[in-house]
């Protein structure tokens, strides 16, 4: 009876190998979002946890402590994907997080994210950041960039 390896069962990579472009993107995006969330706490503190505030990061992105935690959490998932998962597993995480940010864009534009201190409308920096993050993450999650690179080296 043959046993499946942890990599085959769960998509967890146990051996070190060179990272794919999707894994490198996950590490970069995860680092940026975790650091952004941590920096956000220096701006917002820990009060008014889920209320609309006038705290801004770089004068563009609205913040509250709950918003910071969401960014730290998603960034941590990205970091784990880039460090611990196989390339296919990382692509799956990128597709999932890209879908989350696409949904966040729509809900933010419609004004349903007051809990995260994001006002509704198209002229809000957070909604544009979420849209750009969704598109770029879905591109990296789709594997299009890896397929093009593999075809060029073949």
User: In whole angstroms, what is the distance from residue 148 CA to residue 66 CA?
Assistant: 39
How does DSSP classify residue 61?
E
DSSP annotation of 116 reads: G
| Angle value at C-alpha 50, between 47 and 54, nearest 5 degrees | 70
Instruction: Return the structure tokens found at 57.
Output: 């990061």
DSSP per residue, 17-45? -PPPHHHHHHHHHHHHHHHHHHHHHHHHT
Q: Find how far residue 85's CA is from the centre of its chain.
A: 15
Q: What is the pLDDT of residues 120-148, one digit of tens each?
A: 777 777 889 889 999 999 998 887 766 65
Q: What is the pTM of this model?
A: 0.76
Query: How far is the C-alpha of 126 from the C-alpha of 131, rounded, in Å?
Result: 9
Q: Per residue in 9-32, pLDDT tens?
A: 666 655 556 888 888 999 999 999
């Amino acid at each position: 009876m043959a046993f499946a390896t942890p990599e085959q069962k769960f998509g967890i990579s146990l051996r070190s190998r060179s990272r794919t472009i999707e894994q490198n993107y996950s590490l970069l995006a995860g680092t940026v979002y975790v650091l952004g969330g941590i920096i956000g706490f220096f701006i917002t503190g820990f009060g008014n946890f889920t209320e609309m505030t006038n705290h801004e990061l770089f004068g563009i992105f609205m913040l509250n402590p709950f918003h910071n935690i969401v960014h730290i959490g998603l960034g941590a998932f990205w970091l784990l994907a880039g460090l611990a998962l196989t390339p296919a597993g990382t692509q799956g995480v990128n597709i999932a997080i890209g879908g989350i940010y696409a949904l966040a864009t729509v809900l933010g534009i419609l004004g349903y994210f007051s809990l995260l201190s994001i006002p509704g409308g198209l002229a809000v920096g957070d909604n544009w950041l979420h849209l750009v993050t969704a598109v770029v993450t879905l591109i990296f999650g789709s594997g299009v960039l890896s397929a093009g690179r593999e075809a060029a080296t073949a």
